[in-house]
Amino acid sequence: MSFASPTTTMRLLRSLVALATVATPAFAQTKPSAHPFGTMKEQAAVQQAWLVKRLDTFLPALMRKHRVEMWVVPMREYNEDPVFSAITSPTTFAARRRTIYVFYDRCAAGGVEPSATCDKGVERLALGGNSQGGVFKAVASMKAVNAAVGGRQAELWGDEQWEALKSVIVERNPRTIAINTSKVFAFTDGLSSGELAGMSDALGTTWSSKFRPAEALALDMIASRLPEESAYYKKHQQLVWSLVERMFSNEVIVPGKTRTSDLVWWWRQQVADLGIGTWFQPSIDVQRKGVTGAQLGEDPVIMPGDMLWCDVGITALRLNTDTQHNGYVLKEGETEPPAGLQNALKRANRLQDILFEETRPGRSGNEILAAVRAKMTAEGLDGTMYSHPIGLHGHGAGPLIGLWDYQDGVPGRGDALVIPNMWFSSELQVTSPIPEWGNQPVRVRQEEDFVVGPDGKPQWALGRQEKFWLVKPKPASKTKA
């Protein structure tokens, strides 16, 4: 995903006004397909199975890796911690009044260092809210309800929750208590100031003095993806590719009539019709022989000979995609793009290769960036590297491998380490002179999602673009004699 400039935002507002006044859009509406990921009930069953396995496998290993005995995650309704979607059921949309999730490594009981052979697992408590489909032990209130509520028990809430938390902590006597605070990562800074103050006051200095940041644990828990999720993620990619192929075709584009904003709203409508979502407003751009970006304007009409670019994504089953592909509008008599454009795409592919060569567990984003930049210089690639993790969030938890305006490293956020079972978006661009365009420089921007597998090796979630999508001239309609 690229970031919208103020100019782009104004372009969006103008296009909204224009669309509201146009009776007939410049593209044909198609009948929505069946839901590509099954019914909502079927999707929830898949997600719940993932949740159970993630908490049974990733969580204990990560707590021991980062030497965390107890992890306490309080949050209030509509002010959820970023880790919320990584630890809750797909049928839970918000924290219940207040929910305090407590994770305690039973293998650390009695102040003993956890053993690799210990199989007691991690105790999971929910002080408030429900059991998330049975993955937590939900603690209810002891308060009597003086109303006709069909025998329902009162929910644990307010000061009673803090007292319940104190009892849990006293009983287990952890040496340290991990909490989600960070000056670097938003993903691990989910504990609000009010909740921290309330919890500290209730626990007292004896226990609040044991607080320490859960930074690396929370980051890795959000970032870690199961092999089953990676296999399912191919469906996300297949859908994205099929939509891009349609968008960059004569089914949707009428050269000389269709504007870039038409494609933006075509994408938004298609995604909505499929019953899924997206996490950012799509972007469509044009590069044209002999014409500058300023001359093209904010919302150009697409013409034969144009090179097209899109930045699009979808959200389904809480998982996000981020894709940038390129297309070309064939001129009359052409069957493929100019050789210079095809070579420019190959050069961008080479930068993807370099990223794969340098990405491996244990390296920081800044270390990968430095190694990539050194090879770019050695091979004469004029480009930019700005790749990022992806998964439960579009710009996900984990190490940044550059930002478009930070090519010498990203302090803090670039210092995190790659881990196995992590997903990335390989976002980058290479600028090349195009001989057929009078050596006009053209940027080939590419973005493909990839998986760092359990073996630590990167592989494409589906594949990568190695040929332009082609917008072919429509055959002349036949007329009856």
CB 217 within 8 A of CB 110: no
CB 164 within 8 A of CB 127: yes
Q: How many CA atoms lie within 13 A of 251 on its CB side?
A: 13
477 token code pair: 């309609």
CB 456 within 8 A of CB 360: yes
Q: For residues 291 and 132, give the distance between their C-alpha atoms in angstroms, rounded to a whole number.
A: 56
- Residue 148: the pLDDT is 54
441 token code pair: 């420089």
**Buried (b) or exposed (e) across 430-452, using 16+ Cβ within 10 A?**
bbbebeebeebebbbbbbbbbbb
Sign of the dihedral defined by the CA atoms of residues 238, 33, 312, 231, in that order: negative
Amino acid type, 469: W
Please name which of 340, 415, 354, 423 lies closest in space to residue 383, comparing C-alpha atoms: 354
**Per-residue pLDDT for the chain (481 aa), expressed as one digit of tens each?**
764 444 444 444 444 434 433 333 344 444 445 789 999 999 999 999 999 999 999 999 999 999 999 999 999 999 999 999 999 999 999 998 999 999 999 887 655 565 555 767 899 999 998 999 999 999 887 665 666 555 566 777 788 999 999 999 999 999 999 999 999 999 999 999 999 999 999 999 999 999 999 999 999 999 999 999 999 999 999 999 999 999 999 999 999 999 999 999 999 999 999 999 999 999 999 999 999 999 999 999 999 999 999 999 999 999 999 999 999 999 999 999 999 999 999 999 999 999 999 999 999 999 999 999 999 999 999 999 999 999 999 999 999 999 999 999 999 999 999 999 999 999 999 999 999 999 999 999 999 999 999 999 999 999 999 999 999 998 876 655 5
257 token code pair: 């009539």
Total-model pTM: 0.89
Domains in the chain (CATH in brackets) are 10-37+226-471 (3.90.230.10), 67-213 (3.40.350)
